[in-house]
Amino acid sequence: MFVLTIDQRNSQGSGDNVPQLLDGLADLPAVLAFERSVGDEIQGVFSSAETVTDAVLRILRWGGWYVGIGVGPVEEPLPASPREAGGPAFVAARRAVDRAKKTGDRPAVAVEGSPGAAEAEAVLVLLGRLVADRTDAEWRILQHVQPGKWGAQTAAARKLDISSQAVSNAVLRAGWQEEWAARPAAAVLLRRADEMAEAARTTTKGEG
């Protein structure tokens, strides 16, 4: 499982943005959907590495949040709310979000709980930098460019009534194709981290 703990930056200065964040993530398929856990923090539980990758990149695009990903088992049966849940993945998510607060100028995401966490985190940081560095003007174009679809740039140019070259330039500058090519790699590494966490747990139980 993957537990995401998301904490708002500087909530005293920017107000409570948790409701907007919850709305922006409400469509993601979850084992336990995101809920406010305490203060300006939310938590959710996911089984899909692809969904976790999507959630992280959305949050890093919007900015203003620390993202912690905990990888590993959770206590079962799961309750109806992440606020009532527990287990190693929740503990790891807490460590991860605390470390994300100390990442300085790099994207504020951290992964904990597995021997494979560092590799997954490294790819998410690289993707996060691509996403966070885009301008509003680039996003206005990119939101109309369907990834991996033939003719998507031409269709976007027609819809926006701008030149195909302008769309192509935005896609190139923003690393749009690179992001979507690398998303599966991030998901693969998260899945591997989850498998390694389970293997480590099984080994520990066997030794006990």
**pLDDT tens digits along 11-45:** 777 788 999 999 999 999 999 999 999 889 999 99
Q: What angle do CA 126, 178, 50 make, to 5 degrees?
A: 70
The answer to whether residue 162 sits within a structural domain is no
The answer to whether residue 147 sits within a structural domain is no
**What is the C-alpha separation between 49 and 192, in angstroms, rounded?**
10
The answer to whether residue 54 sits within a structural domain is yes
Domain range for 42 is 2-133+175-207
Predicted local distance difference test score (pLDDT) of residue 179: 96
At 207, the pLDDT band (50, 70, 90 cuts) reads low
The answer to whether residue 153 sits within a structural domain is no
At 86, the pLDDT band (50, 70, 90 cuts) reads very high
Q: What is the mean pLDDT of residues 136-143?
A: 96
The answer to whether residue 149 sits within a structural domain is no
Predicted local distance difference test score (pLDDT) of residue 49: 98
How many structural domains are present in the chain? 1
Q: What is the mean pLDDT of residues 113-132?
A: 96
The pLDDT of residue 206 is above 90 = no
Predicted local distance difference test score (pLDDT) of residue 205: 66
- Helix, strand, coil % (nearest 5) of the chain? 55, 15, 30
**Which stretch of DSSP H or E encloses residue 165?**
helix 164-174
Predicted local distance difference test score (pLDDT) of residue 201: 78
Q: What is the mean pLDDT of residues 59-67?
A: 95
- Full DSSP string of 64-116: SEEEEEEES---SS--SSGGG--SHHHHHHHHHHHHHTT-TTS-SEEEESSTT
At 153, the pLDDT band (50, 70, 90 cuts) reads very high
Cβ atoms 30, 95 nearer than 8 A = no
Q: What is the mean pLDDT of residues 112-124?
A: 97
> Which letter, b or e, does each residue of 82-107 get, where b requires 16 or more Cβ atoms within 10 Å of its Cβ?
beebebbbbebbbbbbebbeeeeeeb
Q: What is the mean pLDDT of residues 154-183?
A: 96
Return mean pLDDT, the chain.
94
The answer to whether residue 100 sits within a structural domain is yes
**What is the C-alpha separation between 71 and 93, in angstroms, rounded?**
7
The answer to whether residue 187 sits within a structural domain is yes
**What is the C-alpha separation between 107 and 104, in angstroms, rounded?**
8
The answer to whether residue 161 sits within a structural domain is no
